[in-house]
Amino acid sequence: MSRYWSDVVHGLTPYTPGEQVQMPGLVKLNTNENPYGPSPRAVAAMQAAVGDQLRKYSDPGNAAVKDAVARRYGLAREQVFVGNSSDEVLAHTFQALLKHALPLLCPDISYSFYPTYCSLYGIEAVQVPLNERYEIDVADYNRPCGAIIIANPNAPTGIGLPLERIEALVAAHPDQVVVIDEAYVDFGGQSAIALLGRYDNLLVIQTLSKSRSLAGLRVGYAVGHPDLIAGLERVKNSFNCYPLGQVAQAGAVAAIDDAAYMEQTSQAIIATRAWLIAQMQALGFDVLPSQANFIFARHPGHDAAQLAAGLRERAILVRHFKQLRIDQFLRISIGTDGECAQLVDALKALLPAV
Ligand SMILES: *Cc1c(COP(=O)(O)O)cnc(C)c1O
């Protein structure tokens, strides 16, 4: 607390990120990082971007990154916005597109940065409960609102909605912006980008942090109607004209262009996920159906916080949320086969003891 703070600062509830601890031999399954590392082509492109040219400012329009996204998804450059992480793209989206007289709708259990942005920008939000299977039911969003945001697949449940459900949501709200946060879509979800040609109220946000294994580079993007993108550009250029440096731009272009590498590593994660789910079920866990690079699981006979603490003693980090309805679940990122086998061995040792 400081008497020098602006009033708005006193009212903020900042987001709490998963821990980034450094420990030899640590199995880090708590922040949904990708175990396979970025495309070698992206690494080479970034190395080539380090040099004397860094004395100049980067391209404020992010044209090369926009064109890479446009190429990949069959869009025009004017349909693409690029930011320094999808968290930043989300922040600009909340400010530019989601603050209206009527409340914003979002799921009660979802990415916990959404309420944080609402408090930062003074946006009134109504949290719509997930159904009893922890799914988003789009019929529950048929109520007066100023805008809607959901994650698909949702976090931290991992459950994805099929494209026709997303389309029903977008079609039911022609006068509101509907934002779909697709941070995990490449691990088996269906992207709403396919709907962009038909709906001018749809904005889809993706990140290079998960399926492109570039969480440390901080690049995200949004795609949608040029009018939505122009609104985001106005906010961005009132905040920071150069959010991406030259190295990030070069790495992002190469990573997006190397679709084969992303697909191959995502398939490996999907295969490991199926193996881990089967192992966890054999140990008595309930595991929600996941289309993400993590699973959300609970054990009917064991407390989640105690399990997380026991794993931590064995140098395995998973995420536990002290939040109503989900405080008996663990969110476990899919690591390599070896890391997931270590997790299963640790759970086998732990379960009789807890
Ligand atoms: C990880 C994640 C993001 C943030 O991604 P960054 O680009 O690393 O900021 C956004 N939304 C959801 C749902 C996520 O899980």
* DSSP code of residue 45: H
pLDDT digits (tens, 9 = 90+) for 214-229: 999 999 999 999 999 9
pLDDT in tens, 287-335: 999 999 999 999 999 999 999 999 999 999 999 999 999 999 999 999 9
Residues 65 and 183 in one domain: yes
pLDDT digits (tens, 9 = 90+) for 96-140: 999 999 999 999 999 999 999 999 999 999 999 999 999 999 999
For ligand 1, say whether the CB of 152 is within 6 Å of any of its atoms. Answer: no
Residues 153 and 278 both lie in one domain: no
Say what the pLDDT of residue 353 is.
Answer: 63
End residue of a domain, out of 258, 274, 289: 258
Tell me the CA–centroid distance for residue 235 and ligand 1, in Å: 20
Furthest-apart CA atoms within the chain: distance in Å = 60
Let me know whether 33 and 46 are in one domain. no
- Domain C-terminal end among 233, 258, 283: 258
Name the residue of 20, 69, 82, 86 whose CB sits within 8 Å of the most ligand 1 atoms, as the mutation to test its pocket: 86
Residue 190 has pLDDT above 90, yes or no: yes
Which protein residue has the closest C-alpha to ligand 1 atom 12? 183
User: How does strand 27-28 pair with strand 316-317?
Assistant: parallel
Ligand 1 atom showing the smallest separation from residue 85 Cα: 7
Q: Which domain holds residue 91?
A: 40-258
pLDDT at 20: 80
Instruction: Let me know whether 149 and 31 are in one domain.
Output: no
Q: According to the model, what pLDDT value does residue 352 have?
A: 80
Closest-lying ligand 1 atom to the alpha carbon of residue 111: 13
Question: What percent of the chain stands above pLDDT 90?
Answer: 94
By C-alpha distance, which of 335, 345, 330 is closest to 279? Answer: 345
CATH assignment at residue 197? 3.40.640.10
330 vs 157: CA distance, rounded Å: 10
Residues 303, 313: one domain?
Answer: yes
- Could you tell me the CATH number of the domain that includes residue 324? 3.90.1150.10
207: Cβ below 6 Å to ligand 1? Answer: yes
What pLDDT sits at residue 266? Answer: 98
How many CA atoms lie within 13 Å of 12's alpha carbon, on the beta-carbon side? 13
Distance CA 95, CA 143 (A): 22
Do 265 and 254 lie in a common domain? no
Q: Which of 221, 237, 258 is the last residue of a domain?
A: 258
Atom 11 in ligand 1: residue holding the nearest Cα: 183
Q: Confidence band (pLDDT; 50, 70, 90) for 25? A: confident
Of 13-17, 53-57, 170-174, 283-287, which gets the smallest average pLDDT? 13-17
pTM: 0.97
**Could you tell me if 32 and 177 lie in one domain?**
no
Which stretches of 159-305 are assigned E, i.e. beta strand? 177-181, 202-207, 220-224, 286-287, 294-298
Q: Which atom of ligand 1 is nearest to the CA of 31?
A: 1
Instruction: Give residue 354's pLDDT.
Output: 54
Domain count, the chain: 2
* Same structural domain, 19 and 102: no
Buried b or exposed e, range 48-76, using 16+ CB within 10 angstroms? ebeeeeeeeebeeebebbbbbbbeebebe
